[in-house]
Chains A and B, each alone.
Chain A
Amino acid sequence: MSTMPLSSQDLDGFRDVQRLAYRCAETIADEMRPGMTERDVASRMKDFLLAEGADDCFHQPFAWFGDRTAFRGFVGFKHLGGFNPAFYPGLRRLEENMPFILDCAPSRRGYTADIGYCGVVGQNRALDRLMDDLMEYRFLIVDLVRQRRTLAEVSQAVDRLCAKHGYEPRHKAYPFEVLAHRVEKLEDDGRPKHLSLARFGVRNVAELLKDRIKGARDGWSPLWNSKAGSDHPPTPGLWAVEPHLGFRDVGAKWEELLVITEDDAFWLDDEVPQVKRWKARGLWPTADVRAAA
């Protein structure tokens, strides 16, 4: 069913580009100051990635500030099937204590990452709480996939955890209400630049379309959500998983590549900012606690 077997060399390639993407988010987040617009920040991220050798992307960098992190109101999930211009970075200016989300998806030499990073210049208690709680989702998702539950069931379990926490699953505002989407290896053609349309990388989106067609034949979908289309066992390969939680005007997310094999699943990299943050705050469970869970 898998479209390609992933060698350890491939995993290293994906890991490297995921680290590049997170380095980009962390570097630009450090430079962020009140008064900058979403567009300023998105273009800084783009410049950073180009300078670091990115030659294509899944989508060009996005930046959302303030209540735009929570996709409330008209941009909420049922409108336009999730396709709406609210994703594009706008002229919203950053203010002190305003939460922000940076999302970038560079490709380099055929390997693609898609990451989400959130933070604040100043303090935001709601954001802190959301970011703390996001840890539970990272464990929940990989645990259920290991139990070979269907992807729809995993996504529904995420919905239920959101309800328990009192959060809105804001990833439902994404196109097709996806919790995750498939990422494929591209051909490394050595060209320094590839075509983007409407800020989405043509080659990566084409891979997604191919998967959609192939998947329809084989009984799986590259768009992982809570619906019937995802009611199939975990499909081996790479998935960019992006739980996005919202509480009133504050949204928070992380996005990472999940590696699914025929009989196992693991996060591609544990050296990501959110994991470091949970460890620094003493939230990361010890091995015993994890084993007991």
Chain B
Amino acid sequence: MNPDQTVQSGDLSLAVYTWGTPAPGKPNVVLVHGYPDAASVWEKTAQILSDRYHVIAYDVRGAGRSDVPDHTKAFELEHLVEDLAQVVDAMSPDQPVHLVCHDWGSIQSWEAVTTERMAGRIASYTSISGPSIDHAAYWIMNRLRSGSPQEMSTVARQLSHSWYIGAFQLPLFGPAIWKLGMDKLWPKLLSKVEGIEADANPTQTKDGSIGVNLYRANFVQRLLKPNERRTDLPVQVIVAKRDRFVLPEVLDDLPQWVPNLWQREIDAGHWVQISHPEQVAAMAGEFIDFVETGEETVALRRARRRGPRKPMTGKLVVVTGAGGGIGRETLLAFAEQGASVVAVDIDIEAAERSAELARLLDVEAWWRQVDVGAVEQMEALAAWVATELGAPDIVVNNAGIGLSGRVLDTSVADWDRLLKVNLWSVILGSKLFAQQMIDAGKQGHIVNVASAAAFSPSKALPAYATTKAAVHMLSDCLRAELADHRINVVSVCPGFINTGITTSSRFVGVSDEKQEQLRAKAKQLYSRRNLKPQAVAEAILDAVKKNKPEALVGAEAHAFRFLSRFVPSLSRRLARLDMI
């Protein structure tokens, strides 16, 4: 890649590359690379962005085809900011630019957006895998001061990912490894460790060995004497989920310094702009357009970060039967962890209420009225989610109804309704949303709420237990099918949970009066057991976080499972008991 022009910054000449043509009203985008890279690392992303923007990249001092300063102090952040300012002034004299920066490019751009030198010259900032050293220093201090072992272990974990920073402070070590063959090994190493195919970089030896000075000139100094760095500029942080060098936790305190903050995720390693250039370009473009026009897309609205980062921030969760009981608690449990949620229920008021409660937890929430037993309504739901919000990360097929009474008393209409609501809805919810996840390349979770009744035969609940056993088996089969797509299927088997289903369940083959009596008795039984829907919500959250295939809730669920497996004869005897 040959530079299109050079820009002078002090004594040094910087190599500048451009894509696309400048035009009035067309945003200018400046890409800043990290270590041990040169501007070439942006090539794929820049080409995509140049369809709509004028794109500018440059080799940072010491890297690529730019000049090399003769002493370490010349790599201090203020000089790097000066370089950026010179490039911006030369290439975009009339309008502020949108920055998209990676790794060290991002570290130095934090300096640029939080100090005075470039005030008014930057319109927006997209930062990838490069936190401000000052922010990181405060982040470490706050955690060490908290005295909490958990917080301290997070710091220890981040430091273990930053081993090389310490090593680079040693005399000779950094430059030596690059000169002794690391430069040749680098593309292979990236391919082996990061799984990305990068073209050999002709200036790799220089980029690796000279760039070590970035660490030497700044890290220790800043970590020991950090400054409070704030900015009111719109900032989008893109987190590479599998980054080996930066943990997402480092961004936990960011809203404290950056009030206008959006945070997104890409399921990739450190060099996202090489492995996922389309996604990086799409996210950068979406943010630039938003800053230019003021129109915030749904995805951006979901990515807005106001409070502390939470484990499910940025995730989209769809829950059916979310108007009450297990569904509502599950919806709120995910919302509490930061997820955006869609509350689906046949009762529109209840669904709306659940969404409103979720909003109190500072997340985006929507509600939809859907009869999950109607195929066309489920399809319409899936289509609405796909177009309005994009593929979900987690789908909880929870909606269900209860039915009690003998098989011989259960009418065809009863069976039909029960099968539609309890089984067909799960089949459709799994199929439609799993397809969306596959198409979007999302490693999501399908959570199907079955029941301990799935493996506990009983003459009291034959139809219900049959539908739940089917849900359980469906989940087991689907899990195998979706394993290659890394989509997890969770089968949830709660015991006697005290929810509204006890009062709305129907008992077939009895008089109306008896019906009420039986309901009251069932309710009493369930409330005496007093196992709350919150317990199921917690189990679901846990299963999703730990990628578990199954969640049994309540001692009775474990007991029934044990009996069905190891003492089936006793299980069959118990099935003959009158439960209420």
Q: Which residues of A contact B (CB under 8 A)?
A: 78, 125-126, 129, 163-166, 247-248
Contact = CB atoms under 8 A, between A and B. Distances in A.
Nearest to B532: A168
Among the interface residues B353, B356, B360, which one has the most CB atoms of the partner chain A within 10 A?
Answer: B360
A170 B353 CA distance: 20
B357 A247 contact: yes
A27 B336 CA distance: 34
Top 5 A-B pairs, shortest CB-CB distance: A126-B360, A166-B357, A125-B360, A166-B328, A129-B360
Contact of B324 (A78, A126, A163, A247): A163
A55 B7 CA distance: 84
B311 interface: no
B530 A166 contact: no
Interface in B186-243: none
Interface of B: 324, 328, 332, 336, 350, 353-354, 356-357, 360-361, 500, 530
A129 B354 CA distance: 13
Nearest to A77: B530
Given A126-B360, A165-B353, 15 more contacts: A125-B360, A129-B356, A129-B360, A163-B324, A163-B500, A164-B324, A164-B350, A164-B353, A166-B328, A166-B332, A166-B354, A247-B360, A248-B332, A248-B336, A248-B361
B181 to A, nearest CB: 56
Contacts of A125: 360
Contacts of A248: 332, 336, 361
Contacts of B360: 125-126, 129, 247
A268 B360 CA distance: 33
A163 B350 CA distance: 10
A15 B350 CA distance: 39
A134 B140 CA distance: 43
A78 B357 contact: no
14 contacts: A78-B530, A125-B360, A126-B360, A126-B361, A163-B324, A164-B324, A166-B328, A166-B332, A166-B353, A166-B354, A166-B357, A247-B357, A248-B336, A248-B361
B532 to A, nearest CB: 9
Nearest to B362: A125
Nearest to B349: A164
B456 to A, nearest CB: 26
Contacts of B361: 126, 248
B523 to A, nearest CB: 11
Contacts of B350: 164
Contacts of B332: 166, 248
B501 to A, nearest CB: 12
A164 B357 CA distance: 12
A164 B324 CA distance: 7
A165 B354 CA distance: 8
A150 to B, nearest CB: 15
A129 B530 CA distance: 27
A169 to B, nearest CB: 13
B357 to A, nearest CB: 5
Contacts of B530: 78
Nearest to B500: A163
Contacts of A163: 324, 500
A165 B530 CA distance: 19
Contacts of A78: 530
Contacts of A129: 356, 360
Contacts of B353: 164-166
A163 B533 CA distance: 12
A166 B327 CA distance: 11
